Amino acid sequence: MNQAKTFFLMAVLTVLFVWLGNLIGGKQGAMIAFIIAAAMNFFSYWYSDKLVLSMYKAKPVTESEAPELYNLVRGLSQRAGLPMPKVYIIQNESPNAFATGRNPSHAAVAVTSGALDLLSWEELSGVLGHELTHIKHRDILIGTVAATFAGAISFMASMARFGALFGGFGDDDEGGGNFFMILIISIFASLAALLIQMAISRSREYLADEGGARISGNPRYLANALKKLDAYSRRIPFQSVNPSTSHMFIVNPLKAGGIVSLFQTHPPIEERIRRLEGMTM
C-alpha cells in the first residue's frame, strides 16, 4: 500500500514541479522541469537516503565500534521480523533519531550522539523500535521522497517569486504568466509541499509510536524517551537542519512558535505520550 502511495506522491510532486517550471519559463521551462523531475524521481528512489545521511554527516558504525548499540538494533530487528539495517551515529548534541532507505532490505537508522548520552538503553529501545516500525511500514521511502521534492519545490517557488519581482519571465502568450499569478501560485506550491510533508508525517508517527512500543516490549520506554527528547531538543536545538527533512526525525528538530506551530510536521508530543501511556500490551 505504501509503495502505491509513494508513486502517487511522486506523481503529485512532479505535477507541482512542472507547474512551477511553466510559470518560470513557459513551455520550455515546463519541459526542463519535467526532465529534472524525472531525474529526481530516479534519484530520490535510489539515492536520497545517502543524500540525507551525508547531509547530517552520519557515520556508519560496525559491531566492533559500537557493540551495545549494534546489538540493541539487531535484537529489535529480529523481534520486528526485519533484516538488520545499517547503523549510523550523528555527532550532534541535540538528541534525535531517524530512519531512511528505500525498503527494509536497504534501510538505515541514525541516532545522534546526544540521544545516546541522554537516553537509557530501555528508552533507546523504544526510539529504535519506532524507527524500525517506519522501516517495516515502508514509511521511510515516502518520507525521503517527500523531503527531496519538498526541498526542490520550495527552491523553485523561491526562484519564481524572485524572478517575478524582477520581471524575469516570458509574457503570457508563452505561458510565463503575470506577476501576481506567479507570486500567488509559487506561494501555493511551497505551502502544498509543506502540507504534503505534514500529512504524511502526522499520520505515520502515531502508528510508528504504537509499533515501537510493541517491538521494545513496553510503551513507557518510548513515552519516557519522548519526554526527554522533547525537553532537551528545545534546550539544545539541532544545528543546520534542512527544513525539508525535519519530518524524518522522531521529534521535530526545528524551533517553532506562534503561527509556525500550526504547520508542524509532527503531532503534539503530549498527545503521543498520552496514547503511549494508555496502551495495554
C-alpha count within 13 angstroms, C-beta hemisphere, residue 26: 11
Tell me the CA distances in angstroms from 87 to 105, 110, 235, one per residue in order.
13, 6, 26
Query: Cα separation of 147 and 144, whole Å?
Result: 5
Please say if 131 is a catalytic residue.
yes
Catalytic residue, from 131, 205, 210, 277: name it: 131
Query: Cα separation of 186 and 209, whole Å?
Result: 35
What is the distance, to the nearest Å, from the Cα of residue 86 to the centroid of all Cα atoms in its chain?
A: 18
Instruction: Report yes or no: 71 and 223 within 8 Å, Cβ to Cβ.
Output: no
Q: Which residues of 192-212 are buried (b: 16+ CB within 10 A; e: fewer)?
A: bbbebbbebbeebbeebbbbb
Residues with catalytic function: 131
